[in-house]
Amino acid sequence: MQRASNQIGLRIAQLLAQESPEQSQEGQLAADAYTSSQFELPPAGFRRSTSVVSSGFFAVGSALRAARSRAHAPPGSVEGQPVVDPLLSSGNNSNNTLLCPYMQIQEGGLRAMVGECNFTSRDVVFDLGCGTGKILNRLLESFPCKGVGVEMNSSLGRTAEQHLHKYGLRARVVIADVRNVDMREATAVTSFFLSHSFNAEGSSLKEYLSKTLQPGCLVLNYTYPVLGWQGSYSNGVYRYEIGQHLSDPGK
C-alpha cells in the first residue's frame, strides 16, 4: 500500500509540473522531493483515511510545502538547507534558534482559516509569525474582531503595519520574539509556518503558549499540528482550546 501511495503522490506532483509556471516549478521540486522521500508522515493523534489515495495526497502535499519553502526562500539561501533569519539566531535566542523561513500562505489556506473562525467584536486574535499580515488582513476583513500581528523580522513587520493600517485601532503589529510578547488578552491565536517550529527540538514556544494563553483561548494552526496537544482537524486547520489541549492538565 505504501508503494502504491508513493506512486500516486509522485504522479500528482508530475502533473502539477505541467500547469502554470509557478506550479511547474513547485511541481518539479515536489517530484524531486518525493522521489528522495523528503516528505512527512501523517501526524499521530489525528484521524486520517488510510486509503492509498489519501495517503498519496498527504505525502505530495508535504512535498509541495517543502518545495514552496525553497521556491520562496530569501536571496542568499542555500538549496537543501533551512533558512535561518539572522534575528532568530542572535541575542537572547542564540542558544535556542527557531528555524522558520518566511513562507506566504496561499489563497486556499486563507479560505480554510476563515472558514474555521467565527469571531466577534469581543475577540482579540494574535497571528504569530504574521509576515506581511495576510492572515490578519483576511480575518479583519471578514470579522469585526481586533488583530495583533507578531513578527520577529522587522522588515516583514513594517510591511504588515502598512497593510493593516486601514483597520485603524483594530489592528497593530508587534515586532518581537513571540516568547517576549504578553498575549493574555488573546481570545484566539493563529499561525501558519511558525507552527512548524512549535515541535522543533529545544523550542520552548508551545510551553510558553500553554502557560501564557488564557483558558478557552483558541489556537488555530494551518497545515502543521502541535505534537502532544489534543485537538481537532478540519480542512487543513488544526484547532486547539487552551485548558483542553493536554491529556494531562499538569503538563
pLDDT, tens digit (0-9, with 9 covering 90-100), for 69-82:
444 333 333 333 33
> For the segment 130-157, what is each residue's pLDDT rounded down to a tens digit?
999 999 999 999 999 999 999 988 999 9
Q: Over 50: is that where the pLDDT of 223 sits?
A: yes
In the chain, domain spans: 2-71, 107-241
Q: Is residue 198 a contact partner of residue 206, using CB atoms and an 8 Å limit?
A: yes
Protein fold of 107-241: Rossmann fold (3.40.50)
- β-sheet bridge partners, residue 175: 151
> For the segment 96-127, what is each residue's pLDDT rounded down to a tens digit?
444 456 677 888 889 999 999 999 999 999 99
* Residue with more model confidence, 232 or 56: 232
Crossing angle of the two packed helices 107-115 and 134-142, in degrees rounded to 10: 40
Tell me, what's the pLDDT at 195? 60
Radius of gyration of the chain (CA): 18
Reported pTM: 0.61
Could you tell me the three cell numbers for 107?
A: 489563497
Q: What type of residue is 213?
A: L
User: Alpha-carbon distance 65 to 67, whole Å?
Assistant: 5
Could you tell me the three cell numbers for 68?
A: 514552496
